[in-house]
Amino acid sequence: MEFTLEFFGNERYNMLKFLSTHQTEIKGELVVSMSQQDIGDTMHISKLKTNEILNELQDEGFISVPRRSRYKLTEKGAKALKLMEKKNV
Protein backbone atom coordinates (compact mmCIF):
# COMPACT_ATOMS: atom_id res chain seq x y z
CA MET A 1 0.00 0.00 0.00
CA GLU A 2 1.39 3.38 -1.00
CA PHE A 3 1.23 6.46 1.18
CA THR A 4 2.06 10.12 0.76
CA LEU A 5 4.07 12.24 3.15
CA GLU A 6 1.22 14.76 3.35
CA PHE A 7 -0.52 12.31 5.68
CA PHE A 8 2.20 13.13 8.24
CA GLY A 9 2.37 16.91 7.84
CA ASN A 10 0.62 17.46 11.14
CA GLU A 11 -0.36 15.76 14.39
CA ARG A 12 0.14 12.29 12.93
CA TYR A 13 3.83 12.98 12.40
CA ASN A 14 4.12 14.40 15.91
CA MET A 15 2.46 11.28 17.32
CA LEU A 16 4.62 8.92 15.29
CA LYS A 17 7.74 10.81 16.38
CA PHE A 18 6.56 10.71 20.01
CA LEU A 19 5.99 6.97 19.83
CA SER A 20 9.39 6.47 18.22
CA THR A 21 11.22 8.39 20.95
CA HIS A 22 9.33 6.74 23.83
CA GLN A 23 9.90 3.10 22.90
CA THR A 24 11.18 0.67 25.49
CA GLU A 25 12.15 -2.95 25.08
CA ILE A 26 9.72 -5.39 26.66
CA LYS A 27 10.28 -9.09 26.10
CA GLY A 28 12.55 -8.42 23.15
CA GLU A 29 10.11 -6.07 21.45
CA LEU A 30 10.25 -2.28 21.16
CA VAL A 31 6.93 -0.83 22.31
CA VAL A 32 5.48 2.27 23.90
CA SER A 33 3.79 1.15 27.07
CA MET A 34 1.68 4.18 27.97
CA SER A 35 -2.03 4.82 28.25
CA GLN A 36 -3.73 7.14 25.80
CA GLN A 37 -4.28 9.55 28.68
CA ASP A 38 -0.55 9.57 29.48
CA ILE A 39 0.36 10.06 25.83
CA GLY A 40 -2.14 12.89 25.48
CA ASP A 41 -1.01 14.58 28.69
CA THR A 42 2.63 14.39 27.61
CA MET A 43 1.84 15.74 24.14
CA HIS A 44 -0.60 18.36 25.48
CA ILE A 45 -3.57 17.05 23.53
CA SER A 46 -6.83 15.53 24.71
CA LYS A 47 -7.35 11.82 25.20
CA LEU A 48 -10.03 11.97 22.50
CA LYS A 49 -7.60 13.49 19.98
CA THR A 50 -4.93 10.99 21.04
CA ASN A 51 -7.35 8.13 20.40
CA GLU A 52 -8.31 9.56 17.01
CA ILE A 53 -4.70 9.89 15.85
CA LEU A 54 -3.67 6.47 17.15
CA ASN A 55 -6.64 4.89 15.37
CA GLU A 56 -5.71 6.63 12.11
CA LEU A 57 -2.12 5.47 12.39
CA GLN A 58 -3.25 1.94 13.14
CA ASP A 59 -5.83 1.90 10.33
CA GLU A 60 -3.16 2.98 7.85
CA GLY A 61 -0.69 0.36 9.12
CA PHE A 62 1.89 2.71 10.64
CA ILE A 63 1.51 1.31 14.15
CA SER A 64 0.18 -1.87 15.68
CA VAL A 65 -1.36 -2.46 19.07
CA PRO A 66 -0.13 -5.85 20.24
CA ARG A 67 -1.72 -5.38 23.69
CA ARG A 68 -3.82 -2.78 25.42
CA SER A 69 -1.80 0.36 26.18
CA ARG A 70 1.12 -0.88 24.07
CA TYR A 71 1.89 0.69 20.75
CA LYS A 72 4.46 -0.54 18.27
CA LEU A 73 5.81 1.16 15.17
CA THR A 74 5.49 -1.07 12.15
CA GLU A 75 8.11 -1.26 9.43
CA LYS A 76 5.89 1.05 7.38
CA GLY A 77 5.74 3.52 10.28
CA ALA A 78 9.49 3.50 10.78
CA LYS A 79 10.01 4.04 7.04
CA ALA A 80 7.54 6.96 6.97
CA LEU A 81 9.22 8.57 9.97
CA LYS A 82 12.64 8.19 8.36
CA LEU A 83 11.36 9.79 5.14
CA MET A 84 9.82 12.71 7.04
CA GLU A 85 12.99 13.32 9.01
CA LYS A 86 15.07 13.16 5.84
CA LYS A 87 12.71 15.66 4.18
CA ASN A 88 13.00 18.04 7.17
CA VAL A 89 16.83 18.11 7.04
Average pLDDT of the residues of the chain? 89
Higher pLDDT, 52 or 88: 52
pLDDT tens digits, 24-61: 999 899 999 999 999 999 999 999 999 999 999 999 99
Tell me the CA distances in angstroms from 67 to 35, 43, 44, 89, one per residue in order: 11, 21, 24, 34
Which residues touch 17 (CB under 8 Å, ≥6 apart)? 81
Q: Is 10 exposed, middle or buried (0-12, 13-18, 19+ CB in 10 A)?
A: exposed
Q: Residue 7: is its pLDDT beyond 80?
A: no
Pick the CATH number of 7-87 from 3.40.50.970, 1.10.260.30, 1.10.10.10, 3.40.1160.10: 1.10.10.10
Residue 21: pLDDT band (50, 70, 90) is: very high
Residues 36/47, Cβ–Cβ less than 8 Å: yes
